Amino acid sequence: MRTVEPFDAVDLIRAKRDGHELETPEIDWLVDAYTRGYVGDEQMSAMTMAIFLNGMSRREIRDLTMAMIASGERMDFSALGKPTSDKHSTGGVGDKITLPLMPLVATFGVAVPQLSGRGLGHTGGTLDKLESIPGWRADLSNDEMFAQLRDVGGVICAAGARLAPADKKLYALRDITATVEAIPLIASSIMSKKIAEGTDALVLDVKFGSGAFLTDIDRSRELARTMVELGEDAGVATSALITNMNVPLGLTIGNANEVRESVEVLAGGGPSDVRALTVALAREMLALAGQPDAEVEAALDDGRAMDTWRRAIRAQGGDPDAALPVAREQHVVTAERDGVLVAQHALPFGIAAWRLGAGRARKQDPVQHAAGIELHAKPGDAVGKGEPLFTLHADEPARFARALEAVEGAWRIGDAGDPVEDGGPLIADRIGR
């Protein structure tokens, strides 16, 4: 005999469409019924649009997050005998911070269970970057993940299929129904996975600007506050940095290129903005884990973080000394006159890298690990006529034309004294206790 369902999806859709709050049992049932297939995609599509248009209260967002967590397993790292701290970035152009950050924090005896994803569209994926390294593998069992956290102190890997399965279904649906930007849905998606992951502390890198998921800084602050509240409500020490993504981060965009730059940072060098953000996020993660006075920069400069990186890469089958892929073709764009680079907008460069093969249009598409862009100047730098501004890297020269179309008008050379369009400081705000 078929079970009688306690609610009707149409009633709940109508209530949210008309601006009413859904009760906790209604949200619990809706997520469960959608996960097991009783509520169809067309009904959940209508619900996500109603949420997009009318929003949710803090209590509703918390209930939605907890219901998505309850749809799968919850991990527990308490047996490690040391604190755990994690970071999540909302993504951007050239954002490779996870790569140097994980080994840096793990160097101080704080375990870093970094569950990461793949790129889609103009934002790069951490797993795609690391798969540039010969032999490295993203898919680990829970036992393998636990063992690496115990032996190395940190891990970057793919989330298991049993972690918040409701979110996986809902995320795919939002992507095709123009509801991706709904803050209740973004916040519950991110935080359901991070809370289910079982970390003690979580630092959020919430970006704003041209190349960010949310371009407006006030919307980014709202998202950050919502996620910090969700973390605190769930007993996870949580804070957020609001960071600038008007300009690409660092000097490289693309998978193998970004691994090279990350290794430079771990060697005590690298671009100043990548190093600065890595250090700031490491300090946040360590402070939340009870180490507010850790000498973070020293661990980059003296090789300790690099040692942890090499151990972590080997633990996942990779060769930290292997040559990274190099593109077969290059196209150099030079300055048309002397002056100062006053603009370099992140989004067009992200799209260009995607068109070169560094990203994917569909989840099942492969990426070309050597494809991407190398920047030779950043806003505020003086440039001379004929000097290189950036280099496009691709395996197929036919890709250059569309990449150049994407960046047309995305940079501008002015005169000394002209205002620089960089969107302000790298770290604009902090939210949390």
Residues serving a catalytic function are 88, 167, 174, 189, 193
Backbone angles phi, psi at 91, to 5 degrees: 95, 155
Q: Considering only CA atoms, which of 372, 116, 429 is closest in space to residue 244?
A: 429
Q: Determine if residue 172 is left, alpha or beta; phi over 0 gives left, psi from -120 to 50 gives alpha, anything else beta.
A: alpha
Q: Dump the DSSP string for 221-235.
A: HHHHHHHHHHHHHTT
Distance of alpha carbon 258 from its chain centroid, rounded?
14
β-bridge partners, 105: none
Is the Cα torsion angle 298, 288, 247, 266 positive or negative in sign?
A: positive
Q: CB neighbours of 176 closer than 8 A, spacing ≥ 6? A: none
What is the distance between the alpha carbons of residues 358 and 351, in angstroms, rounded to a whole number? 9
What is the distance between the alpha carbons of residues 87 and 363, in angstroms, rounded to a whole number? 23
Strands 252-253 and 372-375: antiparallel
Helices (H), 378-428: 400-407
Q: Considering only CA atoms, which of 58, 66, 64, 49 is closest in space to residue 14?
A: 49
**End-to-end CA separation in angstroms for the chain:** 52
Give the type of residue at 201: A
Strands of 339-344's sheet, edge to edge? 382-383, 339-344, 411-414
β-bridge partners, 392: 331, 373
The answer to whether 268 touches 232, Cβ cutoff 8 Å, is no
Q: Considering only CA atoms, which of 252, 254, 234, 239 is closest in space to residue 193?
A: 234
Place of tokens 């809370």: 195
Q: Considering only CA atoms, which of 294, 263, 321 is closest in space to residue 99?
A: 263
What is the distance between the alpha carbons of residues 308 and 132, in angstroms, rounded to a whole number? 19
CA 254-344-94 angle, 5° bins: 25
